[in-house]
């Protein structure tokens, strides 16, 4: 009998927890009710978790509860995390993974603290200098992996090469039937554009493209990120975070104003009836809950950060992401990719 996928979940992190996190667990269990290849390890205040499991009528057959009386507050800073976060639900969640009892960790808690304690407990992979924060974005043909989204403000060409290998490995673990197509985010698509760091990374990625880990597509501009021509977009954390916030703001602006326009008078409301299914499909495509879950890459084990303000459906998608990452053997994909990314 093969080993079950084991997911460590900080049940107390984020807004409206543990109600949100436990309801997300319910959605996950409903989706995979015919499967028996996983176990969910819930960390937090045991009595509260048990009460929520009972409230949502959730069977505990695939669930372990590990009591943690303390939680990480939203006001906690990364600088004080070392002293104040030990033995919290977040800390114990990551420690469970270090001890080999879980394959991946998930939390909707404080992002900075999660990154600090993940690095402290799991440590960086020897082949990687900096971790990357990767996210999933929709594109015309399916899905993009975009990184770094804010873990590193400053990067060098080696970091960008590492991010390309890490992002390609993540893409292969999630979409095993597709080929990773890597692009560097830049101010232009011409080879002469960009900083010297980008130009150096460009040359190295072009050479590594021959290793068959990914297809290097060159530079990509911001307006083409969602075109589908590439599916792994690489940049530094400063630029990536700005791109992420811009994309989120644009999506909110479009959906908010589209709804306003379609309900402002009787004629538009009538037209809404006839276009309901098309608009619903459009809304679902832009639903941020479906892309919830940023992944810390470069550590000796994957850690997923759910948005703190997301609802239970969004949290379900982050659990689902964890399941797919482990099932796709992400860490083996990463180790295989990183064999080729260093300068001789």
- Which of 13, 20, 4 minimizes the C-alpha distance to 43? 13
Q: In what order do the strands lie in the sheet with 63-67?
A: 63-67, 38-44, 5-10, 104-107, 303-305, 294-297, 132-139, 142-147, 232-234, 181-185, 215-220
DSSP helix/strand/coil, 310: coil
Backbone angles phi, psi at 103, to 5 degrees: -95, -20
Question: Can you list the residues of the chain whose pLDDT is less than 70?
Answer: 1-2, 262, 267-286, 340-344
What DSSP character marks residue 288?
Answer: G
Rounded-to-integer distance, Cα 234 and Cα 38, Å: 32
Q: Is 188 exposed, middle or buried (0-12, 13-18, 19+ CB in 10 A)?
A: exposed
Cα distance between residue 26 and residue 95, in whole Å: 24
**Residue found under tokens 């996983």:** 38
Q: Which of 127, 95, 128, 135 is nearest to 111 (CA)?
A: 135
The pTM is what? 0.88
Q: How far apart are CA 234 and CA 165, in angstroms?
A: 10
- End-to-end Cα distance, the chain: 42
318-333: per-residue pLDDT in tens?
999 999 999 999 999 9
Cβ neighbors of 192 (< 8 A, separation 6 or more) are: none
Residue for token digits 């703001």? 249
For residue 332, give every residue at least 6 positions away whose Cβ sits within 8 Å of its Cβ, in sequence order, or none: none
**Beta strands 215-220; 104-107: pairing state:** unpaired
Backbone angles phi, psi at 236, to 5 degrees: -80, 165
* Alpha carbon distance 228, 224 (integer Å): 8
Q: Are 220 and 268 in contact (CB under 8 A)?
A: no
From residue 304, give the alpha-carbon distance in Å to each of 108, 206, 219, 281, 343.
Answer: 9, 30, 28, 27, 30
298 sits in the region (left: phi over 0; alpha: psi -120 to 50; else beta) called left
Q: Are strands 181-185 and 104-107 parallel, antiparallel or unpaired?
A: unpaired
Closest CA to 186 of 134, 131, 230, 141: 230
What is the token pair recorded at 275?
């276009």
User: Can you give the length of the chain in residues?
Assistant: 344
What are the tens digits of pLDDT across the range 160-210?
A: 999 999 999 999 999 999 999 999 999 888 877 888 999 999 999 998 887
């Amino acid at each position: 009998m093969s080993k079950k996928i084991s997911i460590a979940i900080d049940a107390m992190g984020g807004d409206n927890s543990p109600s949100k996190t436990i309801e997300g667990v319910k959605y996950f269990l409903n989706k995979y009710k015919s499967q028996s290849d996983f176990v969910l390890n819930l960390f937090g205040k045991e009595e509260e978790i048990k009460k929520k499991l009972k409230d949502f009528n959730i069977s505990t057959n695939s669930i372990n509860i590990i009591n943690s009386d303390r939680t990480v507050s939203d006001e906690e800073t990364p600088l004080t995390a070392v002293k104040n976060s030990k033995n919290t639900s977040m800390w114990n969640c990551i420690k469970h993974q270090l001890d080999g009892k879980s394959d991946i960790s998930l939390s909707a808690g404080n992002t900075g603290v999660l990154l600090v304690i993940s690095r402290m407990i799991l440590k960086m992979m020897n082949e990687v200098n900096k971790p990357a924060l990767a996210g999933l974005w929709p594109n015309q043909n399916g899905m993009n992996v975009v990184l770094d989204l804010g873990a590193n403000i400053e990067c060098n060409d080696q970091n960008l090469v590492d991010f390309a290998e890490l992002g390609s490995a993540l893409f292969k673990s999630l979409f095993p039937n597709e080929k990773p197509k890597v692009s560097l985010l830049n101010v232009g698509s011409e080879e002469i554009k960009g900083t010297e760091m980008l130009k150096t990374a460009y040359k190295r990625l072009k050479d590594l493209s021959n290793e068959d880990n990914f297809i290097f597509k060159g530079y990509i501009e911001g307006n083409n990120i969602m075109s589908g021509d590439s599916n792994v977009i690489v940049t530094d954390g400063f630029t990536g975070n700005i791109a992420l916030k811009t994309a989120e703001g644009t999506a909110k602006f479009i959906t908010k104003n589209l709804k306003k326009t379609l309900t402002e008078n009787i004629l538009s409301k009538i037209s809404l009836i006839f276009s309901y299914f098309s608009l619903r499909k459009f809304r679902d495509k832009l639903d941020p809950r479906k892309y919830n879950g940023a992944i810390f890459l470069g550590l000796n084990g994957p850690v997923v950060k759910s948005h703190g303000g997301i609802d239970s459906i969004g949290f379900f998608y982050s659990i689902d992401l964890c399941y797919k990452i482990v099932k796709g053997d992400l860490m083996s994909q990463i180790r295989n990719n990183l064999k080729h990314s260093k300068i001789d």
